[in-house]
Structure 1
């Protein structure tokens, strides 16, 4: 081959390679498009474990997409109030939110089953029901008409039963009590004589201090310590029988989520799973230390009496019977959770409970 023919062929090959590169670039860009979303949270930054789950999601997505998919995070009230997060997603004000389903039971009591209901699933059962037991599919079937797609993105573990300005020893002590309490738990408490109040987290301390309310529940020792409840209501009860393992969710605008590349959808799902594990791990790490400090500073730690637990359980069953009789969506999801819970506790009492009980005995004897 002479030099002229060689360079002519080399030039032709170069043009072909350049053309191939030009054709490939748009395809790659289409698979990994540059996207910026906004996420509004129902939580303030001072409840840092709840808030951090949202930032965990944003960081995971950014890293996994080499910065092509970024999510800007906004605390409650920075775009919309915390309890309006779902509406902001549904109407397209933002693409997603980090929130709790049960904040929206005013629309339909079925929303409560997406977070927690009295005497419902514990934390491990909640995570398992959503991820493997069909819960995610059932919840999203319910949410679709609301223009929402949801993925679990947090779990606090079993919560505390709240702060009270006076001792609560009997059912009579509950009658006339004004308590900040959310979800279906408020309806159950109402049957026991309590007047439930819906108050945003940032306003609870002032309401307790002024006597506007007599009691409040929130999450657990770590958050409660930061919010200062022990200064105005010293009796700290356990457990929160209304929140045995509450889930937190990422809500997505259904159309926006469906419009994402499949790879981005997968990355979001994995990021939410990571956030769920991180939240539970953080609470497990920090709650014990916070509880010890609260007690050392004067908080009076007390269990709910068996009388109160039994009466509450009975009242909860009445609420469920009423809802199951008139709400098919609620009944469908509730019965799924009930079946899962029965199987779960059949297994838990054999291995988990036996092991944990023995180890707790060692802890109490000081032999750990």
Structure 2
């Protein structure tokens, strides 16, 4: 039976069977045992976008392994809070997590880059950097001291600029606002005169309703519609300069990973890679549908950030990256690699995607 996006249960079973056959030759005892993992997430259960990706990852691992490996998904707060999932994997409370690297700047300043960076790589450019430009090796090195192995594990695509109670007609209108914006985008907001606040998904709407925050960014229209921000703030801004990409992060305990037989490692790696592409395609489709619903049925007004604001944000982003590059060690290497990838792909992106979109319009 087709899943509706080109991936079928039969194909997953076939891939799992092939991997199982190879692994059984090498490690027959382990290959026959049932392995049970817990996956803690930073999302409400089945949240459109990342919550859906987490559930599919668990189902596909069980299907492809023919039940030899079972992953129990635990939504934010079931075992640990949303922003404690990294520590849960690092400390062995859970074998796996589904989250986003932009939450971990307190552990490693360069970590947010692996989800998104202001004025940075687009979704396809980001995947290219991770898979072909050396990004994965640097990501592995950054997290290795914590006993954690990272994977791309879903993508919510281009992000929107956020929900605002009032209008932003100039840079001055942004100054003094309290805005939910984690990661490097939050640091840019701070330099522009706002107060960034980091909140888990479940706390954003109540904070917006109570006036604790004046604005929030989250993901794209699909997830934002489900979160209900339109009930409080009607001004929906673009472009999402702070997060032009939305890579979901699959974290795996290195010790748990090392105990897996090779065939199950291959299955986990394959399932996460498939979900990364599948989630991106789904987000593009659903974001288009949800944007139409928000603007036509919910009274939401799309607004573009003013030019002076975007110019100031671009300069602040460059400054943040310059300072991040001075951190030293692997974090400096990450910034240099990311900037190099952006510079290398920019000319091609301009004459391919950007040019076609302009001509098509």
The residue number in structure 2 matching 1:128 is: 128
The residue number in structure 2 matching 1:234 is: 234
The residue number in structure 1 matching 2:302 is: 301
1:27–1:211 distance in 2 versus 1, CA, 3 Å: closer
The residue number in structure 2 matching 1:65 is: 65
1:83–1:278 distance in 2 versus 1, CA, 3 Å: same
Trace 1:239-250 onto structure 2 (pairs within 5 A): 239-250=239-250
CA-CA distance at 1:56 after TM superposition: 1.7
Once the two structures are superposed, residues 103-128 of structure 1 have per-residue CA deviations (whole angstroms, 9 ceiling, x without a partner) of 11112211112211111111001111
The residue number in structure 1 matching 2:311 is: 310
Q: Does 1:286 align with 2:280?
A: no
Distance in 2 separating the partners of 1:27 and 1:340: 40
The residue number in structure 2 matching 1:354 is: 355
Trace 1:209-288 onto structure 2 (pairs within 5 A): 209-288=209-288
CA-CA distance at 1:133 after TM superposition: 1.7
Structure 1 stretch displaced more, 83-92 or 44-53: 44-53
The residue number in structure 1 matching 2:181 is: 181
**Is residue 126–residue 246 contact of structure 1 (8 Å, CA) maintained in 2?**
no
Secondary structure of the corresponding residue to residue 325 of structure 1: coil
CA-CA distance at 1:69 after TM superposition: 1.1
Distance in 2 separating the partners of 1:291 and 1:30: 48
Structure 1 stretch displaced more, 30-39 or 132-141: 30-39
Runs of 4+ in 1 over 3 A off after TM superposition: 24-27
Count of matched residue positions in the alignment of Structure 1 and Structure 2: 337
Distance in 2 separating the partners of 1:227 and 1:142: 32
CA-CA distance at 1:317 after TM superposition: 1.2
**Is residue 141–residue 330 contact of structure 2 (8 Å, CA) maintained in 1?**
no
1:235–1:26 distance in 2 versus 1, CA, 3 Å: closer
* Structure 1 stretches lacking a partner, 5+ long: 1-23, 362-368
The residue number in structure 2 matching 1:325 is: 326
Secondary structure of the corresponding residue to residue 312 of structure 1: helix
CA-CA distance at 1:49 after TM superposition: 2.2
Distance in 1 separating the partners of 2:78 and 2:92: 16
1:260–1:173 distance in 2 versus 1, CA, 3 Å: same
Distance in 1 separating the partners of 2:64 and 2:70: 10
* Structure 2 stretches lacking a partner, 5+ long: 1-23
**Is residue 152–residue 248 contact of structure 1 (8 Å, CA) maintained in 2?**
yes
CA-CA distance at 1:73 after TM superposition: 1.0
Distance in 1 separating the partners of 2:27 and 2:157: 44
The residue number in structure 1 matching 2:336 is: 335
The residue number in structure 2 matching 1:7 is: none
Give the number of the structure whose alpha-carbon radius of gyration is greater.
1
**Is residue 324–residue 335 contact of structure 2 (8 Å, CA) maintained in 1?**
no
1:233–1:26 distance in 2 versus 1, CA, 3 Å: closer
CA-CA distance at 1:135 after TM superposition: 1.0
Structure 1 stretch displaced more, 68-77 or 322-331: 322-331
Distance in 2 separating the partners of 1:319 and 1:249: 23
The residue number in structure 1 matching 2:76 is: 76
Once the two structures are superposed, residues 188-223 of structure 1 have per-residue CA deviations (whole angstroms, 9 ceiling, x without a partner) of 111110011112211211211221111000101111
Per the normalisation by structure 1, the TM-score is 0.88
